[in-house]
Structure 1
């Protein structure tokens, strides 16, 4: 487990910035101590400084993971945010949408969000901005990208896509066959 290089850190912070904006600093300097990002086998982990000190005692070949996996670097070098980061990112999200109960299942099956399934949206959400998708009971369901701005959503037809699907909590069940 090693610290991120400058290039890796900029890619991670750029991706996180799409969802939480300037709140990245709040993610690193929390009330319960300092947290950091570490890289292990192309995966980026978010963990406390004390956990980093404990993980140093474990050989790299024996270490499976430490902390929460935020995402991974693909073979082409791009950073992909994974659903395991949802709980951490959701609490600092700037732009959110809430889905009607009937649209939740469709989103959890990997489909985009239609205007007919949109319950609420954060004011002044720009187009192509990273958003966190919630149920009406404020449970985070996944990540998305706004296909339309807030103003465009108000004028859109019910069949129009308002948010593109990126990742959701249903991925655990859908990818269960490929994990074994």
Structure 2
């Protein structure tokens, strides 16, 4: 089939890198968020810091799901349950 006849329909969840690792795109967030096992909710004062690409200090965390472990991939929410992005839990110690 010639390339002019190829069509793509749907949502792009991510792409494979040259080293065959799969990287999620932010477009997958709304589809994956309801099924996430590990979640972290940010206080309003820390939301902008996270969205700007900075680390969030422990003081900026509002709630943490019980099964969140250190260095685990997580979904980051605002306190109003709006999914903001993906993250990695660096330190969950109490």
TM-score, with structure 1 as normaliser:
0.49
The equivalences for 1:85-164 within 5 A come to 85-149=28-92, 152=93, 154=94
Where does structure 2 lack aligned partners over 5 or more consecutive residues?
A: none
The ranges of structure 1 where at least 4 consecutive aligned residues each deviate by more than 3 angstroms after the TM superposition are 58-65
Q: Deviations over 1:25-66 (max 9, x none)?
A: xxxxxxxxxxxxxxxxxxxxxxxxxxxxxxxxx965444632
Cα RMSD (Å): 1.8
CA distance in 2: counterparts of 1:132 and 1:83, whole angstroms? 11
Compare the two structures and name the one with the higher strand fraction. Answer: 1
User: Greater relative contact order: 1 or 2 (C-alpha under 8 angstroms, separation 6 or more)?
Assistant: 2
Flag the 1:123–1:77 CA change in 2: closer, same or farther, 3 A.
Answer: same
Flag the 1:63–1:103 CA change in 2: closer, same or farther, 3 A.
Answer: farther
Flag the 1:59–1:113 CA change in 2: closer, same or farther, 3 A.
Answer: farther
CA distance in 1: counterparts of 2:71 and 2:84, whole angstroms? 19
- Do the aligned partners of 2:39 and 2:75 also contact (CA within 8 Å) in 1? yes
Question: Alignment partner of 2:36: what SS?
Answer: coil
Residues paired across the two proteins, number: 94
CA distance in 2: counterparts of 1:110 and 1:120, whole angstroms? 20
Is 2:4 aligned against 1:66? no
CA distance in 1: counterparts of 2:62 and 2:32, whole angstroms? 21
Where does structure 1 lack aligned partners over 5 or more consecutive residues?
A: 1-57, 155-180
Flag the 1:60–1:114 CA change in 2: closer, same or farther, 3 A.
Answer: farther
Question: Alignment partner of 2:29: what SS?
Answer: helix
Q: Deviations over 1:96-149 (max 9, x none)?
A: 000000100011111122111111100131111110000000000000111123
TM-score, with structure 2 as normaliser:
0.90
CA distance in 2: counterparts of 1:148 and 1:60, whole angstroms? 48
